Amino acid sequence: MLSNRYKTDFAKFDKYLLIVVGLLLAIGILMVYSASNAYSREQNGDSLYYLKRHLIWCVLGVFLMFFAMIIPNYYFFERLAWLLLGLSAILLVLVYVPVIGVNINGSSRWIKIGGLTFQPVELTKLSIVIYIARFLNRKADDVKSFGHGILPVLLVVSVFLGLIFAQPDLGSVILITLLVFLMLFIGGAKIWHLAAISSVGLIFMIFGIFCANYRIDRLFTFFNLWADPEGKGYHTIQSLYALGYGGIYGTGLGGSIQKLHYLPTPHTDSIFSVIGEELGFIGTTFVIILFMVVVWRGIVISLRTEDRFASLLAIGIACIIGFQAIINIGVATGSLPSKGITLPFISSGGSSLVTCLISIGMLLNISKNGTIGR
């Protein structure tokens, strides 16, 4: 039984957000099993292998979400900002340590703890949001000054962008850059400062693309998908086939053909395509609406709170989830070049799932305690 300090009136939490996240988790569990069972049986001799791992991360994530919900004062998160940034930096370096770090297809993005792998960039995204919300709250009077209001944020964030770019993970670099830009804009930074930053950021992005042949190939494939349908364009083409086969109503749960050796990573990055094939246009539309509701509730919570830190934190969290969903769905539909970003709450990916659920716990905490201030 919880002590009086942690007793919580659940009626004050944002019920819409809680229900929608629950629906997304349920869809994720069903689709991870459906998308992974054949592949899992073939690779591991157990059709439930990936589902079991996904459920472990779900339980851990939900536990941490409820913990974040019941903390009496959300300024607890603000006080963790530098600790989380430091932890994120250490983890981003550990991906290169041979025994701990895991290299997959030339990318050093994971560390292995016990039998589970963790992607540090997911924690980094949340840590940066908390740090920027903290900085913009404490330096509210300096935000219009480039030297005192923007430059310190850019210097800190640039360290993490450099570590992430070296993995290499340009997709997460772009996502975090968009996130930082939006939070600075909402926090009151001058437009011309942001325009100058955007120009420099665009130059670095172009450099990032053209300094690696595989990124150039992805970009050209995006504009000319059918130039190499059995090679560079294969992933996106198979994804579009899956969405096309599903039609309006889908082939039914478990009825996907594309997940059987045609669609790469059907239970992770490509899970939206499996949803489209099995649940059809109706299913994908429903999922998109659920994500829109999550972002909408995040914006509503941000606008309703009377505290600047809480407001900035809420909008930052909403942006993380919204941007990730847009990028994943955009890649699946051929609207964006391949990025390797998971679909929040649904894809089989423990680090993304857990950090997204912790983020939702923070949002729910703010929805209840948004007027308490420091």
| 41 has pLDDT over 60 | yes
CA dihedral 180, 123, 374, 65 (to 10 degrees): 130
What is the model's pLDDT at position 11? 66
Q: Which pair of structure tokens corresponds to residue 144?
A: 């219009």
Q: Which pair of structure tokens corresponds to residue 1?
A: 């039984």
Residue 325 or 96, more confident: 325
Query: Half-sphere exposure of 175 toward its Cβ, with a 13 Å CA cutoff?
Result: 31
Instruction: Tell me the CA distances in angstroms from 108 to 2, 94, 155, one per residue in order.
Output: 41, 9, 24
CA dihedral 90, 93, 95, 101 (to 10 degrees): -80
Range from 69-73, 87-91, 218-222, 328-332 carrying the lowest mean pLDDT: 218-222
Sheet holding 101-104, edge to edge: 101-104, 107-113, 116-118
| 372 has pLDDT over 60 | no
> 0.85 exceeded by the pTM?
yes
CB-count burial class (<10 Å; 0-12, 13-18, 19+) for 115? exposed
In angstroms, the CA 201 to CA 194 distance is: 10
In angstroms, the CA 183 to CA 295 distance is: 15
Percent of the chain whose pLDDT exceeds 90: 51
| 373 has pLDDT over 60 | no
| 7 has pLDDT over 90 | no
Residue 103: beta bridge partners?
A: 108
In angstroms, the CA 171 to CA 337 distance is: 10
pLDDT in tens, 295-350: 999 999 999 998 999 999 999 999 999 999 999 999 999 888 877 789 999 998 78
